[in-house]
Amino acid sequence: MINYEIVIFWSYMLMLSKLKIDSALSKDRKIQLLLAHAIKISHQVFIYRFDNNPLKNYNYNPKVAAEELGLEEELVGELINDYISQIFNTKYQFDNLLSNIRELHNIDKEVKMIELKNLAHKNLGVAKNLRIEDAIIFLNDSMIKDDVDHLEDCINALEACAFKLNPKHAFSVLQVMELKSSF
């Protein structure tokens, strides 16, 4: 069963507050700890929600996307960084939609579910283009399943996947988001 303390830790606000708890840690150590949590979250969601982990030893390789798309690897790296920012920025939208879906009934709930699936579809296109296999699995599942707990796990795992792609960039994005939210 999934360890919900870790999933809850990963949620945006708690993650940022966790970073503030021990300011004595170096930036590299914070990134290392968050990366360890990201790996654990995506692995646990695979085990709990998919009965196995089809990508247990998967590590994203930008060379694959570069070769298949005929792009320079540096450009793929830039696109990956944009994708990371996109996922972190849309996480709030996903969370808001999930909250609405939990609270609403009938047609209103259906409308929010469609909005969530449309948001997942938009992100899925980018994940497919960049050949981000774990994100593809989580986003595909978000588009076909209606179980809110399952959707929440997939969205949290998606955020973890984004962090794993480029931890240093992801950490910087989170710092900027934290700074913006303080104004």
pLDDT on residue 80: 97
Percent of the chain with pLDDT over 70: 83
Query: What residues does each domain of the chain span?
Result: 4-181
pLDDT band (50, 70, 90) for residue 41: confident
Report whether 136 contacts 126 (CB < 8 A): no
Q: What is this structure's pTM? A: 0.81
- pLDDT of residue 8 exceeding 80, the answer is no
C-alpha angle with apex 75: 133 to 27, nearest 5 degrees?
A: 75
pLDDT band (50, 70, 90) for residue 54: low
pLDDT on residue 51: 66
pLDDT on residue 28: 87
- pLDDT of residue 103 exceeding 80, the answer is yes
- pLDDT of residue 50 exceeding 50, the answer is yes
Calpha distance 168→31 (Å, rounded): 7
Over the stretch 131-183, which tens digit does the pLDDT of each residue have? 999 999 999 999 999 999 999 999 999 999 999 999 999 999 988 887 777 77
